[in-house]
Structure 1
Amino acid sequence: MSALTLRIAVAAAALFLAEQGLAQEVDHSAMDHSKVDHSQMDHSAMGHDAPPEPTPAAHDHSTMDHAAMGHGMVAEPKTPLPAITDADRAAAFPALTTSHAHHSQWFSKVLVDELETWEADDGRALRWGAQAWVGSDLNRVWLRSGGERVGGVTEAADVELLFGRGISPWWDVVAGVRHDVRPGDGRDYLAVGLIGMAPYKFEVDATAYLGESGQSALRLEAEYEALLGARWVLQPKLEAAFYGKDEPARGIGQGLNTLEAGLRLRYEVRRRFAPYVGVAWERAYGQAARLRRMDGADVSDLHVVAGVRLWF
């Protein structure tokens, strides 16, 4: 066999085998996929993992009786509760008594609320205000004093001896006598007043006086202590004095005589000892102001003070 003939035979054989292979391939483009029943297909044989079988629910909440579980409903007691009577209410809420137990033990205190100095026009000035008491929590004896010296001369001074009786946990009624050392000659008054702490912790002292020659007077004091820290205390104070009639010889006018206001900041080195600085303002009104002008004195005065507060 010649070489040409051999080549022709090999080419014919290869062509035949190629045609046989093409005939066995599936023509997927001609397949009708809508007619394929996928439910009958074995996907596990196709190499894909089958999805896990769904597990049945442990509880079917749609059929559960929530009322039996106590949700949203209150189970009726087996034994019905009896109706509440007036005797039950009286036993649960007994009437409260307002009586307080008072101690028979005696106490005492001395307070120097103001002991201060400043530089006045007529020289160094000194002012004091002090009180002391002794007794029980119900009955007390009070001793009070206040005054002012300017340039070594006492311009005003008084002392009071009072008996006090507690009428509530915060208030005492006091009654006694007051003696004015200055201004003018000494003068005595009968005194009655109220001492205590008003709402919001305002300390109040209101005292009325009836003196010789039908003179009457009223003294009102109010102060407050604002804590600015563990040792710093800011104390505003207001004091007013009223008189029933004019007394030119004593520099007293009818109505509002003087009004004093002060603001003091103290540092409590100890609770019993506290130096302070502050400002004090005083003004005379009405006839008292006219009498001061006639004497060439100032109607009002504003000064810076320094002092100490102590108690024992």
Structure 2
Amino acid sequence: MKLLSVIVPCYNEQENIRDFYDELMKNEAFFKERDVDIELVYVNDGSTDKTVDMVKELNNKDKRVKLVSFSRNFGKEAAIYAGLEKTAGDYVVIMDCDLQDPPALLPEMYKAVEEEGYDSVATRRVNRKGEPPIRSFFARMFYKMINRMSKTEIVDGARDYRFMTRQFVDAVLSVKEYNRFSKGIFGWVGFKNKWIEFENVERRKGETKWSFWKLFIYAVDGIMAFSTIPLSFAAFTGLFFCLFSFVFIIFTIWRKLAFGDETNGWPSLVCIISLISGIQLFCIGIVGQYLSKTYTEVKKRPLYIVKEEI
């Protein structure tokens, strides 16, 4: 009998733990017919509510429910990686606990892997119904930007909801980066991939833990992880202003010889100095971001620390 490991990163999701389990197990009969057993691994990312207690209650009733609990909040990327490391299923699927990833898609995803020969089946939303318009706008802009800047394809609307073979999971685990951007890593490792589209499903209970600022930081991390274009931008900007300065020096000398020394023009000079100084600081900031990522990588700190495991 083969094993399907379901990884569920959760942070303060006490309202959804039981509902998710009930919805997932509606697929139990389908997988039993195909000699596939299910294990459910909740990865508690430092929750401060009763998430852990809810998972333990489920474990008492069903030993297929397992728990990996962090010592603090390390972030969703760490939770995904921990889930991939702690599971040994022939198939592995990552799902959000808030039921925005429909469990009803699992049979279709399984068939795509088992019958159609795909190594990975990923999902994407065809719309963003229920999201604030400003957040949807910036999300679309991010995907357009990163796909122009990166050689790795990152699909607009892509979810972390993904059904994978063991070979695909092992390939993802071989990428040992500390600063992880899973959407990019999934595309970078390659293999044969299929996309399934679905209408956006709003969170059933509770509130999202992703603020606009957190999403912005996550987007910046994604760009830094899979593109060096910002560094090229900084270099070309510096080259442009060097050429501009050279031309301006020639113009200043010509004006001096042609019209004599004039004292007016200092406001424009201040504006130019402020502009160039601002651009210099911006470019230094870009370099600093890449340097900070390198700094965190070379320290070799663990991606997560487990406090409790059942």
- The reply to whether TM is greater than 0.5 is no
TM-score between the two structures when normalised by the length of structure 2: 0.22
Question: Larger Cα Rg: Structure 1 or Structure 2?
Answer: 1
The higher relative CO (CA closer than 8 Å, separation ≥ 6) is in 2
TM-score between the two structures when normalised by the length of structure 1: 0.22
Higher helix fraction: Structure 1 or Structure 2?
2
